[in-house]
Amino acid sequence: MSLFKFYFFVFLLFLVTSSTNAWAQLPTSGTSKNTFGNANDSAGKKTNNNEWQNDDAYIYYTKAFSNTKLWLDTSIHQIHRRPYSQPWLRDLGNLGSPTMNLQFTPQNPVGLSLGYHSFDAMRYNIDSLKYFNTTKPYSDFTYNLASKLEQLAQIFHTQNIKPNWNMAVNYRKINSPGYYYTQRNNHDNFFLSSHYKSLSQQYELYTGITYNKQQHDENGGIVSDTFFNNEQYADRKSIPVNFFNSSYSTVRSPVSTLQRDFTVFLEQAYTWGKKDTTYNDDSTKYDLHLTPRFRISHRLEASQHRYQFKDMRPDSLRYDAFFQQKFATADSVFSRQEWLYIDNRILINGLVGKADNQLLFNAGVGNRFDKFSTNYLVGKQEDNILSNYLVGKLSKEATSAKQWTFEANAKLFVTGAASGNFGLDATLSKDLGERWGIIKVGASQQLNNAPYNYSIYQNQYWQRSANFDKESSTKIYANLYSPQYKLSLGANNYLLSNFLYFDATQAPNQAANVFTVSQFWLRKVFHLGPLRIDNELMYQQASNAAPINLPQLLGRHQFSIETKIFKNQLRIATGLEVRYHSAYYSN
């Protein structure tokens, strides 16, 4: 067991054994000093007799510096679906393998990046962390066992250490040998999130840690599909694959890739505003209300990413399209690319309006250090880049029905290799009531550099380098969700220039022409007693000469019976799901 896993399980054991001393969360209230412990400590509800209070846990989560409460999905309508391949992702056939999105979605971010996205569906992202709030310690354990020893284990725990301080931790393990020879996936994913707010409500702290490690054995595909018609190869693991080498291993592939990242972030803020305190009848409890007016916030983020390729038994024919090299028995092909960045940002925030309906606007500056390196056994090259950027935001959240929600964000790099890169996005939405639901429209525009792996790649035998112009992407979208009619629909339109892609020779390239991609999607759910029919369709079309291949029509149709049994104590959902996409040439 690695040192990291050892400390993780010790920490997890501590959380589980200490959960009996958790505090219930009171988001905006406190009590006088002499009754604070008894009133708010959830341990006070426990006794050594049959008077234990089995109240349901009240749990929700928010995003950083957001007042919108979000709830965990406890339905079982989609529980059968293979995780990390929804709704239009396709993998290599076994859990945890690299994925490709059949719905066109640009992936390159504003600024600098490493450029590997094949495992994004399984990664925990620091910008997507959830910050929980619960009245009781809450744990969730999942274990799935499937064909060919495919396993997924996950444990999640959250509790309020104090009424104004919550921590959440999650660990997930995926191991999937696969149906075919040497296509093993072995992944570890972990996150920790914490939210603290002072009793005065003026100081607020968000912290988070994410760790992702994806290991994938490459088998190069089967030698020929004619083996499917041969009864001797009814067991798919007996079909020959391109990268098999018995001198290396009969279980593992000599060709493997590894992606790993570790990110730590801290975001804190201090707020000034108008305070108001209200007491109960006997003055033993009080509610403290703060109407924010001015805030200074600081964010620090540090992250290290690694991509590694190894071929321990290289074949000269395998690399003939890239370089000509004769290999001895002990030779290998190796390359490791790494990206380290430290991002430091300070923001000045202004807030106007009532406490439950405020308009936020902020502006700030950021400093960023990026270090890229390529290690190819016999040498190493590094690039150190220092950048500065400006950020700004304007937002208003809807705190009740039929209010408008809007948000606009801007980011502009002014110095460094990413100078001139920018990202602009704006969204506007409104809850039109239960009948018509929620409508949302938005637009975004960004200009970004080519990822590092597009510009530089090297092993001990071969080097590839290229210079690309900045890539431009514009998106306009609109969608509608109606709970009453169980209907959702939407449309996206992309305009792209200098689009970056890998061509048929597996080399990075850039489109010389401007092209568009239009997408339309519709989902409708029908209820007929216990019968549920869930239909989802998507149509997408790229303009002429676009360097991408897309299926025009995609469909997903679920027919299920969902009801309760055993005196309404057990919920079940069973049925059939059918998927379809029109024919297309894969990229």
Q: What is the pLDDT of residue 53?
A: 56
CA distances from 89 to 123, 147, 325 (A): 14, 21, 36
pLDDT score of 8: 47
The domain of 374 spans 22-388
> Residue 41: what pLDDT?
38
**Smallest Cα–Cα separation from 18: which of 147, 155, 159?**
159
Confidence (pLDDT) at 275 = 85
Residues 571, 561: Cα–Cα separation, whole Å: 10
Q: What is the pLDDT of residues 515-571, one digit of tens each?
A: 999 999 999 999 999 999 999 999 999 998 899 999 999 999 999 999 999 988 899
- 397 belongs to a structural domain: no
**Angle CA 393–110–392, to nearest 5:** 15
Domain-embedded: residue 6 = no
User: Does 520 map to a domain?
Assistant: no
* Coil vs helix vs strand at 568: coil
Q: Is residue 57 part of a domain?
A: yes
| ∠ Cα 574 579 583 (to 5°) | 170
The total of structural domains in the chain comes to 1
Residue 287: what pLDDT?
74
Tell me the pTM: 0.87
Residue range 422-448: mean pLDDT, rounded: 92
Could you give the percent of the chain with pLDDT greater than 70? 90
Q: What is the pLDDT, as a whole number, of residue 560?
A: 93
In a domain, 235, yes or no: yes
pLDDT tens for each residue of 440-496? 999 999 999 999 999 999 999 999 999 999 999 999 999 999 988 999 999 999 999
451 within 8 A of 502, measured Cβ to Cβ: no
Phi first, then psi: what are they for 102, rounded to 5°? -70, -20
Q: Beta partners for 301?
A: 265, 343
Strands 404-415 and 89-90: unpaired
Asked if residue 498 is part of any domain, the answer here is no
Asked if residue 86 is part of any domain, the answer here is yes
pLDDT digits (tens, 9 = 90+) for 179-212: 999 999 999 999 999 999 999 899 999 999 999 9
450 found inside a domain: no
